[in-house]
Amino acid sequence: MTKTRYKIGKDDYPYFITNTVVEWLPLLTKKPVAKIILEILDYMQNHNRITILAYVIMPTHIHYIASSHNLPKEVANFNSYSARQIIDYFKSTVQENILKILALSKPDYKVDRTYQFWQEGGKPKQIFNLEIMRQKVQYIHYNPVRKGLVSKPSDWLYSSASNYIDGTGLIDVVTDWAW
C-alpha cells in the first residue's frame, strides 16, 4: 500500500478538507474528542497559522474549509497533533477496545507509532471561486441534516452553521470571504 499525501498548491486559495477516523469509528462527537479538535483549530487560527472558513465535526469524520500560506504543513500539523491528543485521551480514560482497533488499523510501514487515528488518502479540493465556496459551505452545514442527526444546520453543536446564521459558534470562523 502506498502513502497518499495531501496535494495542496502553494497559493492562498481555501481548500475543502476531509479527515476520516480509521474504520469509520464514530468517535469525534464524544465531547472531550470534539473539544480537542475545536481547541486545536481555534489555536491554529488565533496564532495566524490557518484561517477557518467553515467546519463540521461529524461522528466519523470532519470537513473544514481552510486557507494558509503553508496549508500542507498546517494540515499535517493538525492531523498529527489532533491524533496524538485524542489517542492520549483514550489512554487516560482506559478505553482499551478503541485503542486496540486504532493499533490494528496502523499500517505496518508506520514504525514510528503504535496507533493510527486518521485514515490516509485525503484529497483536499481547491475552492477557486465564490460559487464553489457557497456550495462547499452549504455541504458542510447540511451534512448533519442529510445524515438525519438534526432537522436544521444550526441545531448541530459541532458546526460553524451558527457562525453564519447569528455570529455565534464554538470557535470563530471567517464568514466574509474576501478574494
pLDDT tens digits, residue range 23-69?
Answer: 999 999 999 999 999 999 999 999 999 999 999 999 999 999 999 99
pLDDT > 50? residue 4: no
- Give per-residue pLDDT as tens, 56-109: 999 999 999 999 999 999 999 999 999 999 999 999 999 999 999 999 999 999
Cα angle for residues 131, 34, 94 (degrees, 5° grid): 150
* DSSP3 helix / strand / coil % (the chain, rounded to 5): 40, 15, 45
**Do the domain assignments include residue 28?**
yes
Confirm whether 78 is domain-assigned: yes
The model scores a pTM over 0.95: no
Does 7 reside within a domain? no
The total of structural domains in the chain comes to 1
Within-domain flag for 10: no
Q: Is 103 helix (H, G, I), strand (E, B) or coil?
A: helix
CATH code of the domain in which 108 resides: 3.30.70.1290
8 A C-beta contact, residue 162 and residue 174: no
**Greater model confidence, 89 or 122:** 89
pLDDT at position 162: 96
User: Where is 72: in which H helix or E strand?
Assistant: helix 71-92
Structural domain boundaries enclosing 39: 15-166
Please give the Cα distance from 87 to 83 (Å, whole number): 6
Q: What is the pLDDT of residue 179?
A: 52
Residue 34 lies in a domain: yes
| Domain assignment present for 29 | yes
Of the pLDDT bands very low, low, confident and very high (cuts 50, 70, 90), residue 178 is: low
In a domain, 86, yes or no: yes
For the chain, percent of residues with pLDDT exceeding 90? 88
In a domain, 39, yes or no: yes
- Give the C-alpha separation, 72 to 124, whole Å: 10
Mean pLDDT of the chain: 92
